[in-house]
Amino acid sequence: MSLQTIIQIGHKIRNGLSKEEGLKYHRFVKQGPESTDKQPYVYYQIDVKPTFEIDYVSLKEVTDENIIKNRFYYLKFKTGEADSLVKYVFGDIAFPEFFKPDDPANGAVSFRLNSFLRGKEDALKIQSEKLNSFRRSLEANLDALLKLLIENKFCYIHFNFSGKSWYETDVFDDVESAIVSNFVKEENGYLSLTAFLTRTLAESEGRLPDFDTSNTHKAKFFAGLEEVKDLLYGLDFQQKSKVNAGKDLMINMLPKGNINAQGILAYYAKKSNYDYKNPKPEDLDPFAEPFVNPEIDGIEKYDIVFSKRSKPIGVDLLEMTDVDQNLLKRVTKKIAKTKIEVGYKYTLDFAIKVLFDDKKYTNHLLRILPLIYKDSYNSDDVLLPALIQKAEFAIRNDKGSFNTYRKHYYFLSKLQINDTIMEIKNSKSYLVGTKLGVMSKPVAYSIKSFEKAYVGNLSRRIASLNDVVEFTNYLNEKLMIHQKGYPSVKDASRELTSLLDFFVKDEKYNRHYCALGFFETYYSYFKGEEEIEDEAILENE
């Protein structure tokens, strides 16, 4: 389950980095805002006594950029993902980023109070005398503090606990425990999430009987609060995407094994080197790139998660767990070899995108990409019909031809384990199509409307053997009328007659095989007629 992998990643980030480095990935802790021309932040420091009482007279401005960038973090306290009250409980103050002043004219009663008072009730639930002492002293100086914030418009206040930051005190542990307690519930001895803090993928109904999909966040039981805290440090990595497929689909490859925290950061810091503007067949495909990491030690497996972009945290559609690194290396080499063999310079998903419309594209990608990654993409029965349909549509609407889509089909076919191309080309249906293609080209030269009416509706013209016979008779008639009986055309006609005479005895007719054979010869049989792929059309698909 990828959620367990997220927890393991969070554990390594939480324990394998410095406190400051780890907090960059905490779900409810954010780095202090940077001062810009549009948001000119002023930074202050207030000392806190050993009794956890603030010493307001110690207020001073901070200008050291190193301290500001590396030490300033603030808490975004929430009791749930839908909690929009902006409550201040403890730690540094970032105004107006996450601290709101009094707003007595606000129509919503709960928003009339400032953030300190909004967080009062939640703070009282935390059993910490140090926190209580801190908040009492802060409340005593609240008027002066609010005045300082409003005067500066963009203001950050850092509290100095005898050289430590708020997140280095034991109060932070108490506050963090309180936060995770808001998201979990103990029931029958098990600890589970009570809200959608993370994306989860519900398993099949057979494995989770009587399970309501609205409760998918409860599908994981936690060993204790510490494991939930680990999750807070891993959630940021769940939201990352190593590969983007279309506008709505993202694919994350979560590394597993003996990889350490620095290795995880290095893995996610890597950017694709694929040149989308000037692609070449020898380029490493971006759908395989995330598996090539010779500079990172310890990666043994991956959880591969396919997710749909949606608010607030997205929806997981499909996940593959424990996919072996060595297997994926072999798959990567196979993809690279196939691209060079076919001369295919585009990305793996683009082949699917060109052959299918938007809705079918997503469905087909989700169906075959996991098979490709597991090296079990045996065959694909819908690929050839999709190619024929696309080619016919393009011809009817002046948006290209068969050659516009040909390479995309052959690339995906070559990735399959079964040699479907050889099977198709050895069939009599395919051979029949090749003869029809040779006979049709001279007719297309003579009759302007032929290409759209016949080639653009080829599947209907050759739906059955009887239709093939009728189409053949039509072609022979037009060839005779227009005196296009070239030797190669006459040979094709004789061979076609012979094939049709013995066809029924040998094999079942397949119109898609026939159509492929037709297009192959129709667009390439005569010298000088090979079409150049219309890349502008592909870009608009």
Judgement on whether residues 394 and 245 belong to the same structural domain of the protein: no
Q: Do 320 and 385 touch, CB atoms closer than 8 A?
A: no
Q: What is the pLDDT of residue 216?
A: 46
403 part of a folded domain = yes
**Residue 482 pLDDT greater than 70, yes or no:** yes
196 part of a folded domain = no
**Residue 472 pLDDT greater than 80, yes or no:** yes
Domains identified in the chain, total number = 3
430 part of a folded domain = yes
Judgement on whether residues 332 and 399 belong to the same structural domain of the protein: no
503 part of a folded domain = yes
Supply angle C-alpha 530, 536, 537, rounded to 5.
75
Long-range (24+ apart) CB contacts under 8 A made by 50-58 are: 50/162, 51/133, 52/130, 52/131, 52/133, 52/134, 52/137, 52/161, 52/171, 53/133, 53/134, 53/136, 53/137, 54/134, 54/137, 54/138, 54/141, 54/159, 56/141, 56/144, 56/145, 58/160
Judgement on whether residues 530 and 382 belong to the same structural domain of the protein: yes
**% of the chain surpassing 90 pLDDT:** 73
The tokens 């098979």 sit on which residue? 371
310 part of a folded domain = yes
Judgement on whether residues 478 and 340 belong to the same structural domain of the protein: no
State both tokens at 372: 């490709």
* Domain final residue pick, 334, 349, 364: 349
* Domain final residue pick, 160, 180, 200: 180
Each residue of 459-471: pLDDT tens digit? 999 999 999 999 9
Q: What is the pLDDT of residue 509?
A: 93
State both tokens at 368: 């075959």
Judgement on whether residues 404 and 322 belong to the same structural domain of the protein: no
- Give strand ranges (E) for 201-295: 221-222, 243-245, 249-257
> What is the domain extent for residue 168?
28-180
State both tokens at 331: 């798959």
State both tokens at 292: 């090539």
Each residue of 144-188: pLDDT tens digit? 999 999 999 999 999 999 999 999 999 999 999 999 888 888 777
Give the whole-angstrom CA distance, residue 98 versus residue 75.
8
pTM, 2 dp = 0.85
* Domain final residue pick, 164, 180, 196: 180
1 part of a folded domain = no
59 part of a folded domain = yes
Quick one: average pLDDT of 49-64? Answer: 97
Judgement on whether residues 413 and 299 belong to the same structural domain of the protein: no
Judgement on whether residues 416 and 300 belong to the same structural domain of the protein: no
Q: Which of 255, 192, 194 is nearest to 6 (CA)?
A: 255
